[in-house]
């Protein structure tokens, strides 16, 4: 176990970095196309592996190229936009529903932008996120999603308004109720819906990867955490995320040993990897893991105040816990979990879903042997509240 280190001093606010330049994809001659299909009639994921599919890396490159061409344009004055309003729910909730907004943007040939609609973001309340007296929201922690600035407020029209099609700027305040914009490269033959689902999911993992591009100061915080852990995470390690919210939403406590049992059930498990990075909202979970590591080396974010008895409830972030430090540590946790070899999380958690999509995007491939136990070319994911394929609840004997 790694001893808890004192929290670092708050970083000095610096202006957000310039938008990244669009990637070069000289080998790509045909951009992908979006094909509308009815979500409601789509069957469950097939358990059969894809056969005869092109290299997943090619599809990944096509998706990334399409995103970059759509989001980083040279003529913003003549571009149409869709504005995503940041929701008040958790940060990873925004990441997951932003996928739908970006899919809508690509489908309607608009560039997606992010806005908080005249108020500061829940997770960016202090002066750390102000630049020139203006509150920064998304750009405070992530790289800008576009090279274009937000247009004037008087140009906004709701996305489902009858005037939306002919309007330059539309706004989406919640997940659009629209048909799935499946990512299907037009040079592929006609695909069954289960295959289209796989392609759609894989492309959306690239969406999350695009959004989760950490701003420079967040990257520096990640590096500081890894340095404080003295190289423990420089090699292979497993990731486990235990969400305290499950104790309230599912009314069933999830003790840490249950997650370890799930980890051991993931074949073929690399028995030589004995390091686990643990992220949790609950200090009691960390204490339990450190008290009985069961042969593993358990490490946590040493700068996280919640793990040393601080107030972890986000409703009190403006009190005992600094909001900016809280977000920096949270994003560090998500990043480190997404770099793990094996990951065990909770299906009902937006964090768990975001981590597995980042894992899939990093690996550049996806296979679906089951609904809740996903094999991603060597990366294993288990939903801890599903017990591999046990069903929606914990078995009584677990």
pLDDT tens digits for range 259-309? 888 788 765 556 788 999 999 877 788 888 999 999 999 999 988 765 544
Tell me the two tokens of residue 347: 């299906």
Q: Tokens 């309607």 label which residue?
A: 108
Instruction: Check residue 191 and give its pLDDT.
Output: 55
Strands (E), 95-226: 111-115, 130-131, 134-135, 156-158, 169-172, 180-184
Check the CA dihedral 178-183-188-192 and report its sign.
negative
**Percent with pLDDT over 70 in the chain:** 55
The answer to whether position 162 is within a domain reads yes
Tell me, yes or no, whether 57 and 192 share the same domain: yes
Tell me, yes or no, whether 205 and 239 share the same domain: no
Q: Are 107 and 181 in contact (CB under 8 A)?
A: yes
Tell me, yes or no, whether 268 and 150 share the same domain: no
Tell me, yes or no, whether 64 and 199 share the same domain: yes
The CATH number for 268's domain is 3.40.50.11350
Q: Which of 158, 188, 211 is the last residue of a domain?
A: 211
pLDDT tens digits for range 170-198? 887 755 554 434 444 443 445 565 666 66
Tell me, yes or no, whether 276 and 310 share the same domain: yes
State yes or no: cis peptide before 268, omega within 30 of 0: yes
Cα gap 108→106, rounded to integer Å? 6
The answer to whether position 81 is within a domain reads yes
Tell me, yes or no, whether 264 and 290 share the same domain: yes
Q: Which of 187, 211, 235 is the last residue of a domain?
A: 211
The answer to whether position 57 is within a domain reads yes
User: Does the pLDDT of residue 85 top 60, yes or no?
Assistant: yes
Q: Are 394 and 252 in contact (CB under 8 A)?
A: yes
pTM: 0.75
Residue scoring higher pLDDT (96 or 42): 96
pLDDT tens digits for range 41-74? 333 333 233 444 456 677 777 788 889 999 999 8
Tell me, yes or no, whether 189 and 241 share the same domain: no
Tell me, yes or no, whether 167 and 200 share the same domain: yes
Q: Which of 20, 32, 59 is nearest to 360 (CA)?
A: 59
pLDDT tens digits for range 222-254? 999 999 999 999 998 999 988 765 444 544 546
Q: Domain range for residue 105?
A: 33-211
Average pLDDT, the chain: 68
User: Does the pLDDT of residue 77 top 80, yes or no?
Assistant: yes
Pairing state of beta strands 134-135 and 130-131?
antiparallel
pLDDT tens digits for range 8-17? 433 333 333 3
User: Does the pLDDT of residue 39 top 70, yes or no?
Assistant: no
The answer to whether position 27 is within a domain reads no
């Amino acid at each position: 176990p790694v001893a808890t280190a004192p929290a670092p001093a708050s970083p000095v606010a610096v202006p957000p970095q310039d938008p990244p330049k669009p990637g070069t994809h000289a080998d790509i001659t045909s951009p992908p196309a979006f094909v509308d299909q009815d979500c409601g009639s789509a069957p469950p994921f097939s358990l059969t592996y894809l056969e005869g599919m092109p290299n997943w890396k090619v599809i990944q490159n096509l998706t990334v190229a399409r995103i970059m061409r759509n989001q980083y344009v040279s003529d913003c004055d003549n571009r149409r936009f869709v504005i995503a309003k940041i929701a008040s729910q958790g940060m990873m909730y925004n990441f997951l529903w932003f996928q739908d907004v970006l899919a809508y943007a690509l489908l309607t040939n608009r560039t997606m932008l992010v806005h908080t609609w005249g108020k500061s973001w829940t997770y960016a309340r202090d002066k750390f996120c102000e630049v020139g007296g203006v509150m920064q929201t998304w750009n405070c922690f992530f790289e800008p999603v576009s090279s274009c600035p937000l247009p004037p407020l008087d140009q906004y029209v709701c996305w489902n308004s009858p005037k939306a099609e002919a309007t330059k700027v539309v706004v989406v305040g919640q997940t659009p109720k629209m048909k799935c914009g499946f990512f299907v490269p037009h040079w592929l033959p006609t695909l069954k819906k289960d295959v289209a689902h796989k392609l759609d999911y894989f492309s959306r993992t690239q969406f999350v990867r695009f959004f989760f591009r950490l701003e420079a100061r967040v990257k520096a915080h990640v590096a500081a955490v890894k340095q404080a852990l003295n190289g423990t995470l420089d090699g292979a390690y497993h990731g486990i995320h235990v969400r305290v919210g499950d104790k309230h939403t599912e009314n069933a406590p999830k003790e840490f040993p249950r997650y370890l049992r799930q980890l051991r059930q993931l074949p073929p498990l690399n028995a030589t990897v004995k390091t686990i990075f643990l992220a949790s909202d609950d200090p009691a979970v960390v204490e339990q893991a450190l008290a009985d590591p069961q042969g593993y080396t358990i490490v946590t974010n040493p700068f996280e105040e919640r793990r040393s008895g601080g107030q972890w409830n986000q409703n009190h972030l403006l009190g005992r816990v600094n909001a900016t430090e809280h977000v920096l540590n949270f994003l560090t946790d998500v990043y480190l979990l997404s770099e793990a070899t094996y990951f065990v999380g909770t299906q009902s958690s937006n964090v768990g879903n975001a981590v597995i999509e980042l894992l899939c995007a990093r690996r550049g491939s996806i296979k679906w042997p089951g609904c809740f136990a996903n094999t991603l070319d060597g990366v294993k994911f288990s939903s801890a509240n599903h017990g591999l394929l046990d069903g929606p609840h914990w078995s009584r004997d677990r």
